[in-house]
Structure 1
Amino acid sequence: MFSANQVSAGNKLIVTVLLLPVILTGCTYSTTLSPPADSRNIHFSATVPADLESLPLSAMYRSKKCTRTRTSGSGKSYDVPGFNSAKYPLSVTANGDVTADIPVSGGGYCDWQLSNIKFEVRMKEPKIIESGISDNFGFKTVFITDNNAPQAFNGGYTSHKGDFNESLLLFPFISEYFLGGHKKTIEVIGESDMLTYRLSGANNIHLMVVYDKNMVSRWTDVKEKKEGNRTVITYPNGEEERKSKSYPDYKKLLKIYEERKNHIQR
C-alpha cells in the first residue's frame, strides 16, 4: 500500500503526477541532481522490434529532506516528499538492445533517491500501418522502486522481487473519429492501458517487447440515421463488436494472435 500522500493500489482511475509549482520548505538551496560516483545503478535494457521506437527513460527521484508544501481542500498545509525528474537517453548495444544505467542515489543537497522509472515505446512509422494518422501514442511500462505513487499510474501494480526479466506483447490499434470532423490516431496496446511493477531488490531490468504489426484492430464512432450514434471495435479477423469502451478485448486479440501463429506453423 502507498502512504497517505500516495495512491491506493485499489484505485482504478489513471493518475498522472502533476509537477505543479509548490513551496519548497526551508532556505533556498539547489535541487540539482548530482549522483555520487559510487551510487548503485539499476541496469535497464529492452529488446525492441524494428517497427517500434523507444523514448528516453524518464526517472523520478524523491527527497525526504527537501519537502514540498501542499494545501488540502480545507486550506490546511501539509508536507510531502520533494520530487525531481531526469531523462536518461538509451544507447544501442551490439545485439540491438537499448540500455541505460539509472543511479539509485540522485545525490545533491536534497539526497534524492530513485522512486520510479518509466519506459515508453511507440510506432516508429505509423504510415506503414495506414496513412492519414495525426497522433502516435506509445505504451508505458513503469517500475516503482519505493513506496511512493509513480509519475504515471493506473491504480494498480504487480509486485516483483529480485532482477526483472519479462516479455510484453503489443498490438497496433487505430481510433477513427467521424463526428465533429475526421481524425485518426494510432497507438500500441497491451494487456492494460499501461503496466506497473513494484520492484524489490532489483539490480537489472530487462523487457522483451514483442509486437505484431499485422494484428491491427480499430475503434470507430459511426453516425447512422436509423440507429443513431454507435461505436464499433473491429478485430484483426474482421469481427465487429459494439462497445462503449474505446479499447478492444485483449483476451480476444490474444486468441486471434495464437490462432494465426498455429496456422502458420502447420
Structure 2
Amino acid sequence: MNSTPTANDSKMIPSLSNKLLQIMNDDDIMKRKLMIDGDGIGDDRKITNLIKQFILWCYNDNESELECELSAERLLNVIDQSELAMAKSVQTIKMITNELDNYENMYKNIEKSIQDAREKLSVCKAELAHAKQIRRYKLDYDNIAQIIEQHPSTQETQIKLNVLENEIQTLQKINNQIESKLEKRRRQFQLLLSASHQLQNVLDEENNVQNSDTTLLADNNNHHGQQQHALDDDNLQSSSTTTTKEPISMETN
C-alpha cells in the first residue's frame, strides 16, 4: 500500500469532497445518516471517524512506513467491523423482512379464518332459522292435527253430505210441487175473481134496469092518479050543477 500520496491525489481528494458536499443537501445528509446509523449504536460515528482517519492517513507525511502500515491495518480492522455490522444489518433486515412476510401470511391466514368463521356463522344462522321454521311448522301441524281430531272424518262427512244433498233434493221437489199448486190456485183465484167481477157488473146492470123500470112505473102511477083526480073533480062539479037545477024546475011547475 502506498503511504505517501502524490500531489495530484492530494488535490483531487479535497475537490471531490467539496463537490460531494455541494451536491448533498440537508435531506440527503439526514437520509444517509439514518441509513448508515443502522441499529442506532453509533455506526454513523464510526464511519465518520473512519473517513477522518483515512483522510489523515492519506495526508500524513510524517509517519514512517511501519506506522503507515499499522494505521492501514487499523483502518482495515475498522472497515472489517463496518462490513460485519453491515452484514449484521443485512441479515437483520432479511430477518425482519422474513418476519414481516411471516406476519403477513399470519395476517392473511387470520383474515381467512375470520372469513371462514363468518361464513360458518352465516351458515349456522341460516340453519338455525331453518330449524326454527321447521319447529314452527311442526307446532302448526300439531295444532292442525288436534283440530282435525276434534272433527269427524272425511268419510263420515261425505256420508252426511250425501244425506243432506238427498234431503235438499227432496225438499226441492216438494217446493216445486207446492209452487206448481200455488201457481194453479193463483190462476184459479184470478179466474174466480174475474168471474165475480163480471157477475157483479151483470148484477149492477140488472139493478140499474130494475130501478129504471120502477121509476117509470111510479111515474105512470102518478100520472094515472092525477088523471083520476081530475075525473073525480069533473064528476063532482057536474053533480053539483044537477042538484041546483031541480028546485028551480019544481017551483016553475
Q: TM-score range by the shorter chain?
A: under 0.3
> When you count strand as a share of all residues, which structure comes out higher?
1
Q: TM-score, normalised by structure 2?
A: 0.19
Of structures 1 and 2, the one scoring higher in RCO (CA 8 A, sep 6+) is: 1
Looking at CA atoms only, which structure, 1 or 2, has the larger radius of gyration?
A: 2
